[in-house]
A = this chain, B = another copy of it.
Amino acid sequence: MARSMDDPGYQAGLVDLLGLLSYGELQGFARLAADAAMADNLVDQAAMSAIAVNELRQFERLRDRLVEIGADPESAMTPFVRSIDEFHTSTAPSDWLEGLVKLYVGDGIAEDFYVEMADFVDDETAGLIRSVFKDRGQADFVVTTVREAIAEEPRVAGRLALWGRRLVGEALSQAQRVAAERDSLTELLVSGEGGLDLAGVGELFNRLTSRHAARMEALGLTP
């Protein structure tokens, strides 16, 4: 899609998008690193810590792009601090399994959304977003661990399925607030030649939902 930095509306939306993604990754790093300390064993703790480190690398690349386009990273991130912090406060895992599901399901839906957004930005930013969020293979150990826990104690599945639904509910509620408060961000999605109409928004929503359901099923949980 041909989007130009000369268009101030586009520039404002892009700064908002990169600010949202940057702060999401920076805070995701802190939360994952802390959640890692709940691991049952030190091998899993090291594995989740390494995934946290990956989030900080993603943050650094997104922040560098903000600097490249002449924006101040701190000002760009500030509008999203409240929503993202509230998301994490309301979804603090109470044990290791909830932490694993949050990593797999919560980060999964966020990253799907980010990659969808790549369709609405300039080619260089799109390439960056797709490459930053490409590799989710590291989280594969989550599937094994959660499935083993359910095999050992089947009623765990009910509790974790509720937890997965709560994660999505909280994420949607914060996403709605962000959309309501930041017009420039919603403009990115709907304005111009390649912008979405109502049907397009519905399709986007369906794609996110069905990928979320596939992740829940991969974990052995009812979506």
Task: Name A residues whose Cβ lies closer than 8 Å to a Cβ of B.
Answer: 23, 26-27, 29-30, 33-34, 36-37, 41-43, 45-46, 49-50, 52-53, 56, 59-60, 63, 73-74, 77-78
Contact = CB atoms under 8 A, between A and B. Distances in A.
B41 A74 contact: yes
A189 B45 CA distance: 30
Contact of A23 (B42, B63, B78): B42
Contacts of A63: 46
Given A43-B73, A50-B60, A53-B56, 18 more contacts: A23-B42, A26-B45, A26-B46, A27-B37, A30-B33, A30-B45, A30-B49, A33-B33, A33-B52, A41-B74, A42-B74, A42-B77, A42-B78, A43-B74, A46-B63, A49-B56, A52-B56, A53-B53
Contacts of A49: 26, 29-30, 56, 59
Contacts of A37: 27, 30
A29 to B, nearest CB: 6
B52 A26 contact: no
Contacts of A53: 53, 56
A179 B23 CA distance: 43
Contacts of A42: 23, 26, 73-74, 77-78
A31 to B, nearest CB: 8
Contacts of A33: 29-30, 33-34, 52
Contacts of A74: 41-43
Nearest to A22: B42
27 contacts: A23-B42, A26-B42, A26-B45, A26-B46, A26-B49, A27-B37, A29-B33, A29-B49, A30-B34, A30-B45, A30-B49, A33-B33, A33-B34, A33-B52, A34-B34, A41-B74, A42-B74, A42-B77, A42-B78, A43-B73, A46-B59, A46-B60, A46-B63, A49-B59, A50-B60, A52-B56, A53-B56
